[in-house]
Amino acid sequence: MTNGSGFDVVEAVCELREDEVLDWVEGQLAADVPPLEIAEALSGGLEVLGQRFAEGIVFIPELVLGGELFGRAMELLGPAIEASGGEMKRLGTVLMGTVKGDLHDLGQNLVSVTLTAAGFKVVSLGCDVPPERFVEETARLKPDVLGLSALLTTTMQAQGDVIEALQAAGLRNGTRVIVGGAVANQRWADEIGADAYGADAIDGLNKIKALVGIND
Ligand code: B12
C-alpha cells in the first residue's frame, strides 16, 4: 500500500523505519482509511520480513524489532478499530489465545480487537497457553467460541491437543472452536476437528458470526 507520495509501507516495515511507519499510520488514520486496512498493510510488511528471515537475509533481532514496531502501530490502531464498531452490541463471548510453545501474539491481538469492535466480548489468554489453561478458562467462562492461534509448524499440533483436551473434559459440545495463524488452513481445521478456520481478522469475524448463528 502506498499513499499519494509513493511511500512504500511494506518496505518501510521491512527496513524497520519505525518513525516513518508510525507517521504513515497517523496520516492514514487522519485520511479516514479504515484502521483494519492499515493493520493488514503493516502485516504484509511483517510477512515480507518473515520471508527475508527464512531466506537468511535478516535475523532474529529484526523479527523482534518488526514485532515491536507492529505492536506500537497497534497502540494507535487498536482504539480506532474499536471505535469503528459504533454502538455496543453483545454478540457473544470469544476466548482467545496462542497455543503452548508459541510466542506470536500480534495476529490474535488484531483478531481480538476486530471482534471487540464488532460487539463480541473477547477474553484473551495471551500466548504460550497450555491446553489445561484453555480447558480451565472454557469451563469457567463458557465462551460461545474458542479461538486458537498458531504460527509455527512445531506448535500447530497444539491446536489439536486443545480440542482433544476439551473433548476429554466434556466441554467440546458446548464450545465452537476456530483456528487461525500462518500455518493453519481449512484442511488442517478439518483434520483436527475444529469448527472453522479464519484466514485473517475479517474472515475470522465472519466465520465466528456464522458459528454463533449471525448471518449478515
Ligand atoms: C513477528 C514475528 C516474530 C516475533 C513475534 C512477536 C509477537 N509478539 O508476536 C518473534 C521475534 C518473537 C518471533 C519469534 C520466532 N519466530 Co516468528 N515471525 C514473525 C513474523 C515476521 C510476523 C508474524 C506476525 O505477527 N504477523 C502479523 C500478524 C497480524 O499476522 P498473523 O500472526 O499471521 O495473524 C493474522 C492471521 O494469521 C490470522 N490469525 C492469527 N491468529 C488467529 C487466530 C484465530 C482464531 C483466527 C480466526 C485468525 C488468526 O489473523 C491475523 C490478522 O490477519 C512471521 C512471518 C509470517 N509470515 O508470519 C515470523 C514466523 C512466524 N516466525 C518464524 C520462526 C521460525 C520464529 C522462531 C522459531 C525463530 C527462532 N529461530 O527463534 C521464533 C519462535 C518463538 C516462539 N516460540 O514462538 C517462522 C515460522 C516458520 C514455520 N512455518 O514454523 C515465520 C513464518 C518466519 C519465516 N518465514 O521463517 N517471530
Query: For the chain, what are the domain ranges?
Result: 9-83, 92-211
Which grid cell is 7?
511511500
Q: Do domains 9-83 and 92-211 have the same CATH topology?
A: no
CA of 88 to the centre of ligand 1 (A): 31
Ligand 1 interacting residues, C-beta cut-off 6 A: 43, 46-47, 49-51, 53-54, 60, 63-64, 66-67, 101-108, 110-111, 147-149, 151-153, 178, 180-183, 198, 200-201, 204
pLDDT at residue 138 is higher than 90: yes
Among 31-35, 116-120, 179-183, which is the least confidently predicted range? 116-120
The band of 9, judged by pLDDT with boundaries at 50, 70 and 90, is: very high
Question: Computed from CA positions of residues 194, 199, 201, 203, in that sequence, does the dihedral angle turn out positive or negative?
Answer: negative
Is residue 4 pLDDT above 70, yes or no? no
Determine the residue of 9, 63, 124 to mutate for testing ligand 1's pocket, defined as the one with the most ligand atoms within 8 A of the Cβ atom: 63
* Per-residue pLDDT tens digits for 33-68: 999 999 999 999 999 999 999 999 999 999 999 999
Instruction: Specify the pLDDT at position 90.
Output: 76
Residue 16 pLDDT more than 80?
yes
Give me ligand 1 centre to Cα 185, in Å. Answer: 15
**How many alpha carbons fall within 13 Å on the CB side of residue 137?**
22
Ligand 1 centroid from CA 142, angstroms: 28
Separation of CA 152 and ligand 1 centre (Å):
7
Question: Quick check: pTM over 0.85?
Answer: yes
Residue 99 φ/ψ, nearest 5 degrees: -70, 170
Distance between Cα 107 and ligand 1 center (Å): 8
The enclosing H or E element of 85 equals none
Can you give the three-state secondary structure of 16-32, one letter per residue? Answer: CCHHHHHHHHHHHHHCC
CA-nearest residue, atom 32 of ligand 1: 107
The fold for domain 9-83 equals 1.10.1240
CA contacts within 13 A on the Cβ side of 79:
5
- Identify the CATH number of the domain defined by range 92-211: 3.40.50.280
Predicted confidence band at 215 (pLDDT cuts at 50, 70, 90)?
Answer: confident
Instruction: Give every CB contact of residue 37 below 8 A, 6+ residues apart in sequence.
Output: 1
Q: Mean pLDDT, to the nearest integer, of 205-216?
A: 91
Q: Tell me the helices (H) and strands (E) count for the chain, helix number first.
A: 9, 5
